[in-house]
Structure 1
Amino acid sequence: MRPSNSVWQGNFGYWQNSFIHNNILVIGYTAWKGFQSFGRGVVLCAMDTQVTHPTITSLDTVPFTLQFLPCDLIGHYLRSQSISSSTISSIFPAVATYNPDRDILLVLKAEPQIEVSFLHQLKITPPDCYEQVCNRWSEFQPSLMP
């Protein structure tokens, strides 16, 4: 879902696609590690700063944190962020049916926006992302903790 005040012009002015593309390995790593530990859920990506520019390029550095929210905590977290109950209830069927081996449910939080994305038909799967990050661990330190 896209924030209501977002300007949509393909990939222009829409920073989320570029951000996801640039960070897919750590997003996929978090998704697979979370699924292995807790079962189904979503990856929560919170920006440390408010996104103020209309686009993010591969040269921009955007501080963020990643965590995996298991299915039983998703509703509580989204309610605490003042997300409507209809939006929350629309997420649970996706959580129940996504393929963790191939798909990622991603909640991007950039104050004041929250966007839920269903990433599917990925060129690199969550297990592959996990393997890549583990094999190249030094490249991802100190941003990821074991």
Structure 2
Amino acid sequence: MLRDHKERQDICHSWQPQFIRDNFLLIGYHALRGVVTSGKGITVCIVGQPAADFKPSFHLWQFRTQFIAAEFAAPYLLEMGISSRQIPSLMQAIANYDAQQEIILAMNIDQHIEIYCLQNLKISPSECYKQVCDRWDEFMPTGSPPESSHRFIRT
């Protein structure tokens, strides 16, 4: 049993960078959309359990993204198992990050959560939003793109 847990830990510590690279435009899209509608907060990716033959570089990710506004972040993080001692520093990071150039990201797989502050981005959240809207069919095949009058970034 311990070995299985260790193997799961190895997977959990190796998949995040690849996931972020593979899905960065969507992460940035949801981050900007959340900030514009709710203010600062944390972008959460709830990732489906990988199969036993999981290989990060060839994996098609099943995930759901949501944005948790700052006012709801502490209860959410506590519910996900983050220590109450860590909450004040995480809330300070959420309050102080530059939403135009940075993303606070929580990765959640099988109730295991890790938090990242993505900084020095080559593509800003607003550019991610614009690219996803412009290439909607590549990202969101079930649904309509925002009407240009409802877009947060004017093109």
Q: Which of the five TM-score ranges fits, normalised by the shorter chain? A: 0.7 to 0.9
Tell me, yes or no, if the aligned pair for 2:42 and 2:73 is still in contact at 8 Å: yes
The higher-RCO structure (CA 8 Å, 6+ apart) is: 1
> Any gaps of 5 or more consecutive residues in structure 2?
1-5, 147-155
The residue that corresponds to 1:116 in the other structure is 115
Q: Secondary structure at the match of 1:124?
A: coil
Tell which structure's C-alpha radius of gyration is larger: 2
Q: Give the alignment's Cα RMSD to 1 decimal.
A: 2.2
Shift of 1:49: 2.1
Larger helix proportion, structure 1 or 2?
Answer: 2
Matched, 1:95 2:103: no
Tell me, yes or no, if the aligned pair for 2:80 and 2:111 is still in contact at 8 Å: no
Percent identity between the two aligned chains = 34
The residue that corresponds to 2:21 in the other structure is 21
Q: Secondary structure at the match of 1:82?
A: coil
The residue that corresponds to 1:131 in the other structure is 130
The residue that corresponds to 2:75 in the other structure is 76
The residue that corresponds to 2:59 in the other structure is 60
Pick closer, same or farther for the CA change 1:81–1:144 going to 2, 3 Å. farther
Tell me, yes or no, if the aligned pair for 1:43 and 1:104 is still in contact at 8 Å: yes
Shift of 1:64: 0.3
CA distance in 2 between partners of 1:143 and 1:54 (Å):
26
Shift of 1:112: 3.6
Matched, 1:40 2:16: no
Shift of 1:48: 2.4
Pick closer, same or farther for the CA change 1:143–1:129 going to 2, 3 Å. farther
Pick closer, same or farther for the CA change 1:72–1:40 going to 2, 3 Å. same
Tell me, yes or no, if the aligned pair for 1:51 and 1:111 is still in contact at 8 Å: no
Shift of 1:18: 0.6
Q: Which moved more, 1:128-137 or 1:76-85?
A: 76-85
Pick closer, same or farther for the CA change 1:16–1:144 going to 2, 3 Å. farther
Shift of 1:34: 0.5
Q: Secondary structure at the match of 2:22?
A: helix
Q: Secondary structure at the match of 2:86?
A: helix
